[in-house]
Each structure stands twice: as structure tokens, then as C-alpha cells.
Copies of this chain bind each other. A is one copy, B any other.
Amino acid sequence: MESLDFLFYPKSVAVIGASHVPGKVGNAIMRSITLRFEGKVYAVNVKGGEIEVNGKKFKVYRSIKEIPDEVDVAVIAVPAKFVPDVIDECGEKGVKGAIVISAGFKEAGRADLEEELLKRARKWGIRVVGPNCLGVTNLENGFDCNFNPPERQARPPFGKVAFMSQSGAFGAAILDWAAREKIGMSKFISLGNMADLDESDFMDYLGDDEKTGVITGYLEGVKDGRKFLETAKRVTLKKPVVILKSGRTEAGAKAAASHTGSLAGSYAIYRAAFEQSGVLEATTMRQLFNYAKVLAMQKPAKGDRVAIVTNGGGAGVMMSDGLLERGLKMAELSEETLKKFEEDVRAGKLPAHMSYKNPIDVIGDAPSSRYEIAMRYALEDPNVDVLVVIALFQSPALDEGIIDAVERMKAYGKPIVFVAPGGDFPHKMARNIEQKGIPVYETTEDAVDAVYALVKYGEWLRENGKL
């Protein structure tokens, strides 16, 4: 398959339906595209004239054909009935990709209009995103045709997680949320009606995209089951794919049918397809990003045996429950490791009453130096595949040295997940620790998701001789 790079890295873009009226979609798109993107942007509207956006003036061409330059991508936001003719004009102009924001096609009972749009695009060899979508957002170069204004929907920082969504509104909420949570994203695709390009095409593209480390998606139904399965099998060997499939229940499937027209299909079949193709299935929004964050930051696990180091006994108990309930295992520490702990306790380097039978409870008065001993012993143990570090920062004994201490643990090459429950101080610490490449979660249940993703994806790679 050809690369879709031209859709995400256009040199020159035309916004067809550009408007000077604030609040109109064609105005909002101009605002978004011209904010950070450094490629050329041309405004097109049959009315002609001039418009000002973000303090810059743009001549308005009456047709894309009048633009005295090549155009790679057209972003189309004119009433649905005009779209097929606009596609023809794009074809004459030599446009490679059309991002059709306009609604009023299949989702509004006009399958005929969508057919016509597709026919014209095929004739000219134009690839189409949408219609009925928020277009694409490339967080790397700021190419962003999302019409939601930044004061309502923030954009996340550039990073490794790609997201594609069959629901534009939910996609927008996710971007806004990721911005607040400081989760770095590479590319966002609002899939819309998928008249031409579908979830498999983008999965394929993102699989080869160097800037994307993890592919995530919200889907109500796939367009072509066989194509999805075949693509997913290939892509998941290159990088993790996490899908939130909704329409799982009868009520959900009905709602999906009236939303995207997706035949949600039997959920059992979807589950089997995900299982067979190494796709990690998330069932909630938070889980989707719990999986994505850890997979973007840590290597998959080589096994399912987990060690816990904690300064709070209760959190250790909750974490143990959570792991077991998800089918994971508590590591049995080796004799040698237990001996190391015993000796340190005897020598007074570790406190007499600490428990080191996994969960390793370094006790509420632990400074970071005590954490470091425990983390090292756990990671040196051949029976440990994943380390979970729980820090209750409410204890004033726990100094900020923990940030560098946990970074030093990366040398062991085993995946690490950090948990820091609480309020503002733990949040500040979390951002510092994440800058060192260790993902931090707010609750033990979120960290259970993270460990599960590392173990599950590791299993898939091992089964396929890739780990």
C-alpha cells in the first residue's frame, strides 16, 4: 500500500469552504490549520474576497483551480450536495487527498451522495478521509483541520500515541483529555463515514510511521473484517494496537447502528478477531489510555511475574488483588533475594519489621534510599518480569530522590510501572518521573491495566518469535 504521508505532511493545502464568519466551520478550520502549520494554506470560497485568520490575511480563491500553485490536500467544508463537483475540481487540480469534513451523506440517509463522492474521487485517484469527520491532526507539524477551537478543545503535546476514532466528538474529547494529562500523541484521525480510507488503511500507515509507537482506536464496527484481521496481524508484530470496540451489548449495538450505521456485529466474533491478531482490546476510555501510555514508554514484559515495592501496606494488598483478578502472577522471590533482604535487615540497613515477601513493604517512613535497595533486589531477581513501584507521597519521609532512583532502575531492562495516588504533590512528582521515561498511574487499578498490557503484548510477540 502507498504511504499516506501526503495526508499528514502536505506541502500545500486548500481549505474549500473557507469563511470569514467566526463560529462557522470553514472559519474554524482556517484558524486551526494556520495556527502552527508551516506549509502553504489557500482559502477557497465561491464568494471570493479576502479573510483574516490568526492575524494573517488570505486571498480567497473562487475555485481551487484558480490557485497559482500545486495543492496536495484539499480540506472540504461545503454543503454535502456540492462536494462531488468540488472533488472533480480537485481532480483537475491534481490534488492527492481530500479530507471531507462536510456531513449530510450516508449518516443522514444520503448513501447515494456518498457513492457519487467516492466514484468521482476514484476517477481522479484521490484518496478520501471522511466524509462527516473532524479530519486529521498531525501533532508533529501542526497540520490540524479539526474545527473545534483551542479554547474548547486543547491539543496534546507531540508524542508516540496515534489515535483514530469512528466518533469525531469522542475523538475530540480524547485529544482534550490527553492534553490535560500530558499524554504525547503523534497523529489523530477522525475516520467519519470511511467512504474510502478506513481503519485498516490507517492502521497500516501508522504501522510504518516512525513517529508512532502505539496505535489506538475507537471503533463501532470495522468496514472489512478480513482486511482488518490481515492488517492487524501484520501491524501488531511491529507495534502495539489497542482498540476500544463499542456496541458490545444489544443496546450498544442498536445505538451504534443509529450513530455510524455500523453493523456492530457479534461481539464474540470481534473478540476472537482481536485475540487472533494480537490486538489489545480496551473496554473503557481510561483503560485505552492506561494501555497506550505504558506501551509508549516501556518495553513489553518477558513474563507475567510481578514484584511490588510499596511504602503503604494497603496499596500493596489492593495491587496484589488487582493483578490476580486479571490473571497475572505475584513473583515468588528467589531464596537468594530473600537472603539479601534478611542480611540487610540484620545489618540495620533495612527496618526490622518490613515485609519482603512480595509485596515488598518498605514501610511508611521509607526514604528513597530504602526504595532503591528494594527495587534493585526485586529487579535482580530472575523470577521477576515486571516491577510495580507504589509511592504514597503523603509521607514526608519519601524524598524526591525517588525520581532519580527509579530512573537508575532502567538499567535492568525490565519494565517498570509507577503508582502515585493522591493530589497535587504526587501529580507533580508523577510528571517528573514520567520525564524520565517511567509511566505513572494515579490508582492501583490503572497500574493493573498497565501491567496487563505489557504482559499481554509481550506474550503475543513471544508467540510470534518477536521477543
CB-contact partner of A256 in B166, B174, B180, B317, under 8 A = B317
Residues in B with CB closer than 8 Å to A170 are 312, 314-315, 318, 392, 421
* Interface flag for A23 (CB, 8 Å): yes
Contact with B along A287-317 (1 / 0, CB 8 A): 0000000000000000000000001111111
A241 to B255, CA, bound (A): 34
* Interface flag for A249 (CB, 8 Å): yes
From known contacts A394-B148, A396-B152, A443-B286, infer whether A248 and B176 are also in contact, taking CB-CB under 8 Å: no
* Interface flag for A53 (CB, 8 Å): no
A426 to B177, CA, bound (A): 9
* Interface flag for A154 (CB, 8 Å): yes
Assess whether B364 is in contact with A168, with CB atoms less than 8 Å apart: yes
* Interface flag for A252 (CB, 8 Å): yes
Quick one: which of A163-206 are within 8 Å of B by CB? 165-170, 172-180
Interface residue range, chain A: 35 or more
Residue of B nearest to A252 (CB): B321
Can you report 15 A-B residue pairs in the complex whose CB atoms are below 8 A from each other? Answer: A23-B396, A153-B394, A169-B314, A173-B315, A173-B422, A177-B421, A247-B317, A249-B321, A250-B324, A252-B318, A252-B321, A258-B361, A284-B444, A285-B443, A285-B444
* Interface flag for A414 (CB, 8 Å): no
Point out residues on A near B: beta carbons under 8 Å: 23, 28, 107-109, 148-149, 151-154, 165-170, 172-180, 218, 220, 244, 246-252, 254-256, 258-260, 283-286, 311-318, 320-325, 330, 353, 355, 357, 359, 361, 364, 392-396, 421-427, 442-445
Assess whether B169 is in contact with A251, with CB atoms less than 8 Å apart: no
Residues in B with CB closer than 8 Å to A168 are 364
CB-contact partner of A180 in B249, B285, B423, under 8 A = B423
Residues in B with CB closer than 8 Å to A107 are 353
Residue of B nearest to A250 (CB): B324
Chain B nearest CB, measured from A206 CB (Å): 20
A324 to B254, CA, bound (A): 12
**How many copies of this chain does the complex contain?**
2
Interface centre among A247, A424, A445 (most CB of B within 10 A): A424
A178 to B421, CA, bound (A): 11
A317 to B388, CA, bound (A): 34
Residues in B with CB closer than 8 Å to A176 are 394, 421-426
Assess whether B425 is in contact with A151, with CB atoms less than 8 Å apart: yes
Assess whether B259 is in contact with A180, with CB atoms less than 8 Å apart: no
Residues in B with CB closer than 8 Å to A151 are 425
A218 to B173, CA, bound (A): 32
CB-contact partner of A314 in B109, B167, B254, B325, under 8 A = B167
A153 to B321, CA, bound (A): 26
A217 to B350, CA, bound (A): 31
Residues in B with CB closer than 8 Å to A444 are 284-285
Chain B nearest CB, measured from A19 CB (Å): 14
Assess whether B314 is in contact with A166, with CB atoms less than 8 Å apart: yes
Assess whether B220 is in contact with A260, with CB atoms less than 8 Å apart: no
A178 to B424, CA, bound (A): 11
A314 to B259, CA, bound (A): 7
Chain B nearest CB, measured from A102 CB (Å): 13
Assess whether B313 is in contact with A167, with CB atoms less than 8 Å apart: yes
Assess whether A396 is in contact with B318, with CB atoms less than 8 Å apart: no
From known contacts A313-B167, A425-B151, infer whether A247 and B361 are also in contact, taking CB-CB under 8 Å: no
Assess whether A173 is in contact with B396, with CB atoms less than 8 Å apart: no
Task: Kindly list the 8 A-B residue pairs having the minimum CB-CB distance in the complex, ordered from nearest.
Answer: A167-B314, A259-B313, A169-B312, A252-B321, A180-B423, A176-B422, A249-B324, A153-B394
Assess whether A152 is in contact with B394, with CB atoms less than 8 Å apart: yes
Assess whether B180 is in contact with A220, with CB atoms less than 8 Å apart: no
Residues in B with CB closer than 8 Å to A167 are 312-315, 317
Residues in B with CB closer than 8 Å to A314 are 165-167, 169-170, 218, 220, 246, 259-260
Assess whether A259 is in contact with B316, with CB atoms less than 8 Å apart: yes
Residue of B nearest to A260 (CB): B313
Chain B nearest CB, measured from A186 CB (Å): 18
Residue of B nearest to A446 (CB): B286
Assess whether B255 is in contact with A316, with CB atoms less than 8 Å apart: yes
Interface centre among A151, A172, A321, A392 (most CB of B within 10 A): A321
A248 to B152, CA, bound (A): 43
A54 to B281, CA, bound (A): 53
From known contacts A251-B330, A320-B252, infer whether A172 and B218 are also in contact, taking CB-CB under 8 Å: no
